[in-house]
Each structure stands twice: as structure tokens, then as C-alpha cells.
Amino acid sequence: MLVKWCRTILLTGLAVMSGTYLPVASGQIISFANPFVGVGSAQQEISLNPCLPETEVRNQFGASAALQLQQAVNQWPANLCKDPTIARNLADWLYNSSALLAKTDRPLVMADIIQNRNRTLLACRDLRCLRDKLPAMVDWAKTNLDRTPVYGIEDQPISVEGALLSLPRLSLRGLDLPLPGQRKFCGGGGIDDLDFFSTNLKVSGKAYVLVKCKADNGERKSWILENDGGKDWRAVVDLRASAMQIGNLRRNNHPIIFSYLEESRGTRVRILSYQDNSYREMLRFLVVEDRSKLAHAFEVESQ
């Protein structure tokens, strides 16, 4: 099941237990004996709170995780974790900003802001710098996280996939096969190895078709083909995806596309923007829910 990160959750602050700060979301059941938020891996836990107790990290994740924790702490000014207020604010910022990126309806904008602010914090040479900058950043992240997107009827995100095409040989004259990677992922290079769907993409003067392997082997390979009025169809999207949605924003007169791929560790989200006659990946991240069911964005990469 895809992670449902677009949920309205109010963050209520931080629970404190023996110097360990637990970010709390509405409805979360707090175990004060557990300093972790429940996102799964040591790397993810540490990325949300570099001041986790080393003993707890070692006991939960092993010696290599304790080394990761030390490396994370070393990025920040000395004695960070000895100042409870700054340590709390930093954990609050990291927790809320990662949740904001996972939830927002403006991921390209928010990712840029969050990454710039993280760079600003990492450039701090002393605790005073962090003390001055963090409170406003935390307030900004919480305010935007609590914001519920408001869509008009025509602006609701919708699936790219439409209806199955019954006669693709007639509908797609001029289609050159095999598609890139088709033999590898679909087991053959012919039209009978593929399923074709109409799409909900609407761009003046262009037609689009979604293509999937007829015999899916779990790879979830997908293509979107574009025709601008000529004979030829060409692939403008070529990726693995469990699902794709059309965003409510447009760039270069084309809608933003969100793709989602379920992985063992979470849901891989890719944001695609139309540039130079093709859709290109602008942002990707892994969405993982904590034990309060609040989603967070990890492994953020932007172009």
C-alpha cells in the first residue's frame, strides 16, 4: 500500500525523558523508554535526532550505528548535545522539516527552502548561531506542516492512468518498438507484450499514452508516450512506478508528475518536470512513516 503522507497531523511539541527528546505527533502513543520515533533504520533515526543516546543506539542498531551517530554529531558545533534547548530545537526542526517535505503539495519549492536552511545550520560555527536561527525555522516548519492544501475541483491530484486501450495497433500507428528496456522488463519486444492506457494528461496539441508490461514481474516498469501531432510516438517518461499522479502545478505548460514506487523500506517518490521535450526527474526522496503514522522524507536528492 502506498504511504498516505497527505494527512493532517498537528505536532504538539517534544516529550522529554532523561535528556532525550521525542518529537510527538497528534495521536501518537509515547513510550518514554524508547528514544526512537520508529522510522526503521539507524540512519533515519539519527538524521532526525543527532543527539540520541549512544548506548540506546548501540543496543538497538549495533556498533556501526553508534559510529554513524558520532559522525552525525561531529557535523555540528561542539557540545551541541549538552545544551538541552538547542538539542531539542534541532531535533524539532529535523523532524518537522522531513515531515513537511513528505506532505507538501509544493515539493520542489519546499525541498529547496529546507535544503538551503539545512546548509545554513550546518555552516554555524558555534551554539549561539544555532540558538539564534533554529526557533524561527521550527515555527516555519510547523506552520507549513499544519497547513492543509486547498484545491479547487479542477486542481485535485489525479491518476495519470486512464482506460485500457482495446485496439492499440490502430490507436498507435507509427509506434516504434521495442520501447527502451522493454525486452528486459516485459519479456519481449512486441506490442502484445504491453498494455496501453489512455491518460489524464492534458496538454494542448499533444496526445499521451501510458504503457506497462502485460506480464509484470514485480519491476513495475512504465512509460508515457507523447505524440505532438505527427506520426511518431516517443517516450517522455521511462521509469519504474507503482503509480503516477498529475500534480496541481504546471511547468513549461505541462503538469508536474509524481511517481511512486513501493520498496521494502518505504515509498520512493519522484517529482518529474517537463523540460527539453521530455519529463525529467527534479526531486526524489524515500517516504517512511514513524510509529505515529506521520510520514517523513529521507534520502532527498534534487537536480
Predicted confidence (pLDDT) per residue in 168-182, tens digit:
998 898 899 999 999
pLDDT at 22: 54
pLDDT at 151: 58
Contact 79, 87 (CB under 8 A): no
Considering only CA atoms, which of 87, 85, 47 is closest in space to residue 69?
A: 47
pLDDT at 23: 57
pLDDT at 68: 98
pLDDT at 20: 46
Considering only CA atoms, which of 95, 226, 245, 104 is closest in space to residue 161?
A: 245
pLDDT at 155: 62
pLDDT in tens, 199-230: 999 999 999 999 999 998 888 999 999 998 88
pLDDT at 250: 86
Domain ranges (residues) in the chain = 11-146, 153-302
Q: Which residues of the chain fall short of a pLDDT of 50?
A: 1-20, 24-32
Output Rg (C-alpha) for the chain, integer angstroms. Answer: 22
- On the question of a cis peptide bond just before residue 135, with omega within 30 degrees of 0, the verdict is no
The answer for 17, left when phi > 0, alpha when psi is -120 to 50, beta otherwise, is: beta
Measured between alpha carbons, how far is 27 from 19 in angstroms, rounded to an integer? 23
pLDDT at 247: 87
Measured between alpha carbons, how far is 149 from 147 in angstroms, rounded to an integer? 6
Query: What length is written for the chain?
Result: 303
Measured between alpha carbons, how far is 222 from 257 in angstroms, rounded to an integer? 13
**Cell output for 8:** 493532517
Give the DSSP H or E segment for 122: helix 107-122
pLDDT at 180: 96
CB proximity list for 143: less than 8 A, separation 6 or greater: none
**Cell output for 259:** 511517481
pLDDT at 40: 86
| Bridge partners of residue 80, in order along the sequence | none
φ, ψ dihedrals at 152, nearest 5°: -80, 170
Contact 42, 68 (CB under 8 A): yes
